[in-house]
Structure 1
């Protein structure tokens, strides 16, 4: 009888224990994300699942949207090495300067390419963080940095974002 009662209590307690584990705080989600991102990278295995759970529990947390931005931005970015006949590319020195057997200089640069759809998701995520906390400059600078890297040598969107930031500052002060 005692054994049956103990078993019954354990079965009844399991759903309550599971729901208590699901009700994580914002700080606990941030801690778990930080630990996971340190181990597997910002776009590693399990990060998207954690972000989805975090969003379901705390949809108004700006740190969530910064984490989602990092996830999407990391996934949208790929790189390759390219031979260019310039000494600097976007302000960077060559990754590998070489001279061939004929004496011709070859400068190899790392060039980044972006998946437009994933970049749009990243931009949307950081936009949500900015909407929730408009005066957090780290969110705005993350967007500006990403736009500058995405646009490479034609930074029109970056310039618009910087102008909007300056206008907002002067309008409200």
Structure 2
């Protein structure tokens, strides 16, 4: 996808960063009917009140008395304290976007300059740490559960915001572990296809890109490079590196080199073609733009194909 489409796609992925995690409904039922009743009541309360609603802590305490190591209980505890740790404020920032989002409000200061206000989630460190303690316990109880690993990665991204150092380190180690276990994970409710792990990591790359800070761009680049180290022909991560140079470094020449590598593997890669068109247009290189516009016509349809054909005829 091109840069604008990439940012749009990432915005959707970034929405999970203030999301309150719920219990995994597909977890294996317990043989104890009382445990299952607590699980059922928990699901019902969360659906009506949210993960930190009135009465949920009492239910979790009672549940813990009979099944303290139930993974569903541990993830529910995590969700409860994670939600409790959050508070939202509208704050002024000297930037046009924050976490990939536009300001919720723009006012003028005494000099007439714009002052942008953004919605930001803040965390109570003690409650956040408590939530992670329960999640870590769940991971230790079943280290093959990839959903739990991603739950932790997502919580780290949410907590660190524009400086996702711990999230990057955690995901990098997870990439190493994925190679060691040969992709043999469990993910309740999902089909573990050969591309599942790579697709999920790409969602985190999208999120880092969308945040748009210096630290998140670095995480976007480093995680993409990490994946290329194990999967050198994975064009999606080559595209990422090209997009990093194009957007974060404003280095069109290096970006184009990566897109050319992509097109040698997949001549119809939309991201590489579309961004190459943009680079050629920026460089005012008509010959190069014609080349990539012709390729764009072949790999698109509808309005975009028509626009590419019109532009090609006009050159």
TM-score w.r.t. the length of structure 1 is 0.79
Partners of 2:150 and 2:102 lie apart in 1 by 24
Q: 2:230 corresponds to which residue?
A: none
* Distance in 2, Cα, partners of 1:81 & 1:154: 20
Cα distance, 1:100 vs structure 2: 5.8
Instruction: Identify the structure with bigger relative contact order (alpha carbons < 8 Å, sequence gap 6+).
Output: 1
Structure 2 partner of 1:76: 85
For residue 44 of structure 2, the aligned residue among 20, 23, 35 is 35
2:53 to 35, 44, 53: 44
Aligned residues: 151
User: Which residue of the partner structure matches residue 119 of structure 1?
Assistant: 128
CA RMSD of aligned residues (A): 1.8
State which of 115, 118, 140 in structure 2 corresponds to 1:106: 115
Match of 1:60 in 2: 69
Does the alignment pair 1:86 with 2:95?
yes
Question: What residue is the counterpart of 2:154 in the other structure?
Answer: 145
Give unmatched runs, 5+ long, in structure 1.
Answer: 1-22
- Whole-Å Cα distance in 1 between the matches of residues 66 and 131 of structure 2? 20
Instruction: Find the aligned partners of 1:65 and 1:36 in 2 and give their Cα distance.
Output: 16
Q: Distance in 2 between matches of 1:31 and 1:123?
A: 24
Question: How far 1:86 sits from its partner (Å)?
Answer: 0.9
- Write out the 4+ residue segments of structure 1 that deviate beyond 4 Å after TM superposition: 99-102
Taking the aligned partners of 1:24 and 1:108, their CA distance within structure 2 comes to 50
120-129 or 103-112, which deviates more: 103-112
Q: Could you say which structure has the higher strand fraction? A: 1
Offset at residue 125 of structure 1 (A): 0.9
- Residue 157 of structure 1 aligns with which residue? 166
- Separation of aligned partners in 2, 1:162 and 1:89: 23
TM-score of the superposition, structure 2-length normalised? 0.45
- Residues in 1 aligned to 2:139 and 2:167: alpha-carbon distance in whole angstroms: 15
